[in-house]
Amino acid sequence: MAAAGVVSGKIIYEQEGVYIHSSCGKTNDQDSLISGILRVLEKDAEVIVDWRPLDDALDSSSILYARKDSSSVVEWTQAPKERGHRGSEHLNSYEAEWDMVNTVSFKRKPHTNGDAPSHRNGKSKWSFLFSLTDLKSIKQNKEGMGWSYLVFCLKDDVVLPALHFHQGDSKLLIESLEKYVVLCESPQDKRTLLVNCQNKSLSQSFENLLDEPAYGLIQKIKKDPYTATMIGFSKVTNYIFDSLRGSDPSTHQRPPSEMADFLSDAISGLKINQQEEPGFEVITRIDLGERPVVQRKEPVSLEEWTKNIDSEGRILNVDSMKQMIFRGGLSHALRKQAWKFLLGYFPWDSTKEERTQLQKQKTDEYFRMKLQWKSVSQEQEKRNSRLRDYRSLIEKDVNRTDRTNKFYEGQDNPGLILLHDILMTYCMYDFDLGYVQGMSDLLSPLLYVMENEVDAFWCFASYMDQMHQNFEEQMQGMKTQLIQLSTLLRLLDSGFCSYLESQDSGYLYFCFRWLLIRFKREFSFLDILRLWEVMWTELPCKNFHLLLCCAILESEKQQIMEKHYGFNEILKHINELSMKIDVEDILCKAEAISLQMVKCKELPQTVCEILGLQDSEVPTPDSDVGEDENVVMTPHPTSAFQSNALPTHSASGARDDSPTQIPVSSDVCRLTPA
Query: Among 464, 391, 392, which residue's Cα sits nearest to residue 430?
Result: 464
pLDDT at 289: 87
Q: Is residue 287 part of a domain?
A: yes
Q: Is residue 38 part of a domain?
A: yes
pLDDT surpassing 70 at residue 524? yes
Can you tell me the distance from the alpha carbon of 425 to that of 431, in angstroms, rounded to the nearest whole number?
Answer: 9
What's the pTM? 0.58
Kindly report the CA angle at 417 between 402 and 532, in degrees rounded to 5?
40
Asked whether the beta carbons of 575 and 234 are under 8 A apart, the reply is yes
Whether residues 361 and 317 fall in one domain: no
pLDDT at 479: 92
What is the domain count for the chain? 3
pLDDT tens by residue, 642-671:
433 333 333 333 334 443 333 333 333 433
pLDDT tens by residue, 119-147:
333 445 678 888 888 899 999 887 766 67
The model's confidence at residue 65, banded by pLDDT at 50, 70 and 90, is very low
pLDDT surpassing 70 at residue 62? no
Domain CATH code at residue 45: 2.30.29.230
Q: Is residue 87 part of a domain?
A: no
Domain CATH code at residue 591: 1.10.472.80
pLDDT at 478: 93
pLDDT at 157: 82
Round the average pLDDT of the chain to a whole number and report it. 74
Kindly report the CA angle at 574 between 570 and 576, in degrees rounded to 5?
120
Listed residues 164, 196, 228: the one ending a domain: 196
Question: Residue 144: left (phi > 0), alpha (psi -120 to 50), or beta?
Answer: left
pLDDT at 465: 97
pLDDT at 386: 92
Q: Hey, which of 43-47, 175-179, 201-205, 568-572 has the most confident mean pLDDT? A: 568-572
The model's confidence at residue 601, banded by pLDDT at 50, 70 and 90, is confident
pLDDT surpassing 80 at residue 6? no
Q: Hey, which of 150-164, 182-196, 204-218, 296-310 has the most confident mean pLDDT? A: 296-310
Whether residues 17 and 154 fall in one domain: yes
CA atoms within a 13 Å half-sphere pointing along the CA-CB vector of 381: 13
pLDDT surpassing 50 at residue 557? yes
The amino acid present at 272, given as its one-letter code, is I
The model's confidence at residue 20, banded by pLDDT at 50, 70 and 90, is confident
pLDDT tens by residue, 301-335:
999 999 999 999 999 999 999 999 999 999 999 99
Q: Is the CA virtual torsion 76, 80, 86, 87 positive or negative?
A: positive
Whether residues 464 and 490 fall in one domain: no
Q: Which of 163-177, 312-326, 415-429 has the lowest mean pLDDT?
A: 163-177
pLDDT at 434: 95
DSSP string for 471-519: HSTT-HHHHHHHHHHHHHHHHH-HHHHHHHHHTT-TT-GGGHHHHHTTT
Can you tell me the distance from the alpha carbon of 88 to that of 102, in angstroms, rounded to the nearest whole number?
Answer: 17
Q: Is residue 248 part of a domain?
A: no
Taking residues 167-178, what's their average pLDDT? 86
Q: Which of 296-305, 366-375, 468-477, 516-525 has the lowest mean pLDDT?
A: 468-477
Whether residues 150 and 14 fall in one domain: yes
Asked whether the beta carbons of 594 and 549 are under 8 A apart, the reply is no
pLDDT at 42: 87
Listed residues 196, 227, 245: the one ending a domain: 196
Interhelix angle 439-450/414-429, rounded to 10 degrees, is 120
Q: Is residue 373 part of a domain?
A: yes
pLDDT surpassing 90 at residue 624? no
Whether residues 342 and 281 fall in one domain: no
pLDDT tens by residue, 502-520:
999 998 989 999 999 999 9
Taking residues 436-444, what's their average pLDDT? 95
Higher model confidence: residue 578 or residue 622?
578
Question: Residue 9: left (phi > 0), alpha (psi -120 to 50), or beta?
Answer: left
pLDDT surpassing 70 at residue 383? yes
Can you tell me the distance from the alpha carbon of 272 to that of 270, in angstroms, rounded to the nearest whole number?
Answer: 6
Domain range for 587 = 200-210+266-328+474-613
pLDDT surpassing 80 at residue 182? yes
Whether residues 41 and 171 fall in one domain: yes
Whether residues 456 and 376 fall in one domain: yes
pLDDT at 16: 86
C-alpha distance across the termini of the chain, in Å:
71
Can you tell me the distance from the alpha carbon of 424 to that of 391, in angstroms, rounded to the nearest whole number?
Answer: 7
Can you tell me the distance from the alpha carbon of 255 to that of 277, in angstroms, rounded to the nearest whole number?
Answer: 31
Domain CATH code at residue 408: 1.10.8.270
Q: Hey, which of 94-103, 214-223, 396-405 has the most confident mean pLDDT? A: 396-405
pLDDT at 544: 98
Q: Which of 57-71, 149-163, 232-246, 320-334 has the lowest mean pLDDT?
A: 57-71
Whether residues 480 and 548 fall in one domain: yes
Whether residues 340 and 309 fall in one domain: no
Give the SS3 label for residue 363: helix
DSSP string for 508-565: -GGGHHHHHTTTTTTS-HHHHHHHHHHHHTT-SSTTHHHHHHHHHHHHHHHHHHHTT-
Give the SS3 label for residue 591: helix
Can you tell me the distance from the alpha carbon of 132 to that of 181, in angstroms, rounded to the nearest whole number?
Answer: 8
Asked whether the beta carbons of 200 and 239 are under 8 A apart, the reply is no
Q: Is residue 103 part of a domain?
A: no
pLDDT at 142: 76
pLDDT at 511: 95
pLDDT at 640: 44
pLDDT at 118: 37
Cα–Cα distances (Å) from 488 to 107, 210, 271, 641, 664, in that order, read 68, 22, 14, 11, 14
pLDDT surpassing 90 at residue 54? no
Taking residues 342-368, what's their average pLDDT? 97
pLDDT at 169: 81
pLDDT at 373: 96
Q: Is residue 515 part of a domain?
A: yes
Give the SS3 label for residue 570: helix
Listed residues 470, 499, 525: the one ending a domain: 470
Cα–Cα distances (Å) from 383 to 62, 376, 387, 388, in that order, read 35, 11, 9, 9
Q: Residue 15: phi, psi to the nearest 5?
A: -145, 125
Whether residues 597 and 549 fall in one domain: yes
Q: Hey, which of 114-123, 165-174, 396-405 has the most confident mean pLDDT? A: 396-405
Residue 602: burial class (beta carbons within 10 Å; 0-12, 13-18, 19+): middle
Whether residues 510 and 603 fall in one domain: yes
Whether residues 531 and 604 fall in one domain: yes
pLDDT at 649: 38
Chain-centroid distance of CA 150 in Å reads 31
pLDDT surpassing 50 at residue 208? no
Asked whether the beta carbons of 193 and 138 are under 8 A apart, the reply is yes
3-state secondary structure 265-328: HHCCCCCCCCCCCCCEEEECCCCCCCCCEECCCCCECHHHHHHCECCCCCECCHHHHHHHHHHH
pLDDT at 31: 52
CA atoms within a 13 Å half-sphere pointing along the CA-CB vector of 441: 25
Q: Hey, which of 187-191, 201-205, 334-338 has the most confident mean pLDDT? A: 334-338
Cα–Cα distances (Å) from 204 to 43, 185, 201, 209, 218, in that order, read 21, 20, 6, 9, 10
Q: Hey, which of 141-145, 460-464, 470-474 has the most confident mean pLDDT? A: 460-464
